[in-house]
């Protein structure tokens, strides 16, 4: 079994700083739901939820929820960067914006399209 790698992450302005433990080859998702399609971000799965730790900045984040209210989408209230969200389909996991992670190599991960618009 491969060990997860801890990546340091942050928003653009640095107000929000976190670490995400990522399994080797973890899939990246491109979701077509109304929110994901508009923000255009890829989503990296981090599970279980304990593998995401916010070191600073909870107070700097805004929370956005809609529809069922289960998913919790977090973004920096200062710079507007989407950092991560607690997933509706599995509230014990997070979707992380891989663009926020230092030294994350997109080429090492597959990108899967998911139909969030109809799930």
Domains, in order of start, for the chain:
5-114 (2.170.150.70)
Contact (CB, 8 A) for 113 and 32: yes
Instruction: Compute the distance between CA of residue 98 and CA of residue 111 in angstroms, rounded to an integer.
Output: 12
Residue 24 predicted with pLDDT over 70: yes
Minimal CA–CA distance to 43: which of 1, 85, 2?
A: 85
In tens, the pLDDT along 69-86 reads 888 999 999 999 999 999
pLDDT band at 2 (very low <50, low <70, confident <90, very high): low
For strand 28-31 and strand 111-114, is the pairing parallel, antiparallel, or unpaired? Answer: parallel
Three-class DSSP category at 37 = helix
Average of per-residue pLDDT values in the chain? 91
Compute CA 115 distance to the chain's CA centroid, rounded to the nearest angstrom: 17
- Preceding amide of 89 cis, omega within 30: no
Instruction: Compute the distance between CA of residue 30 and CA of residue 110 in angstroms, rounded to an integer.
Output: 11
Model pLDDT, residue 90: 86
The mean pLDDT of 9-15, rounded to a whole number, is 98
Percent of the chain predicted with pLDDT > 70: 98
Which one is predicted more confidently, 21 or 69?
A: 21
């Amino acid at each position: 079994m491969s060990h997860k790698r801890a990546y340091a992450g942050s928003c653009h302005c640095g107000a929000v700083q976190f670490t995400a433990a990522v399994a080797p080859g973890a899939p990246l998702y491109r979701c077509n739901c109304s929110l994901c399609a508009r923000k255009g971000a890829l989503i990296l799965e981090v599970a279980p939820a304990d593998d995401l730790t916010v070191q600073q900045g909870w107070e700097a984040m805004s929370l956005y929820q809609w529809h069922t209210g289960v998913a919790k989408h977090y973004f920096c209230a200062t710079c507007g960067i989407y950092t991560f969200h607690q997933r509706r389909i599995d509230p014990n996991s997070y979707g992380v914006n891989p663009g926020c992670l230092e030294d994350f190599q997109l080429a090492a991960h597959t990108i899967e399209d998911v139909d969030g618009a109809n799930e």
